[in-house]
Amino acid sequence: QVQLVQSGPELKKPGASVKVSCKASGYSFRDYAMNWVRQAPGQGLEWMGWINTDTGDPTYAQGFTGRFVFSLDISVNTASLQISSLTTEDTAVYYCARECGGDCSGHDAFEIWGQGTLVTVSS
């Protein structure tokens, strides 16, 4: 079945870097864009940006430029998010979310979500 499986929780110290992976299966990886969404503890959802899985071109939302990098490894159908110079404010659950296919094909909703990766930044 179509699914996105993300890497496990991370505990990092301030100033370190982290890489979160999102492995896709059950569909043609390059056919659907991948989005990244952040959810701080007890807070709502915040769109970080997206990556074109066909060209590899990333687009970053305001507030997610500089320290945030979206990348792909097409050979293993995996999208990744790397965050550098971590601060405690980066503590959050990070989700990858695929654009619509199937039922909602042609629309721009986020149809398939990974299970989320908790990144905790603490000294």
Partner 1 sequence: QSVLTQPPSVSGAPGQRVTISCTGSTSNIGANYDVHWYRQLPGAAPKLLIFAHTNRPSGVPDRFSASTSGTSASLAITGLQADDEAAYYCQSFDSRLGVWLFGGGTRLTVL
Site membership for partner 1, residue 2 (CB under 8 A): no
* Nearest-approach distance from CB 34 to partner 1, in angstroms: 13
**Closer of 58 and 114 to partner 1 (Cβ):** 114
111 binds partner 1 (CB under 8 A): yes
Contact 44, 95 (CB under 8 A): no
**Looking at 22-30, 65-73, 78-86, 109-117, which segment touches partner 1 (CB under 8 A)?**
109-117
Q: Work out how close the CB of 1 gets to partner 1 at its nearest, in angstroms, rounded to a whole number.
A: 12
Enter the tokens of residue 92. Answer: 């959050």
Q: How far is the CB of 17 from partner 1 (least distance, A)?
A: 24
| Residue 15 CB coordination number (10 Å) | 11
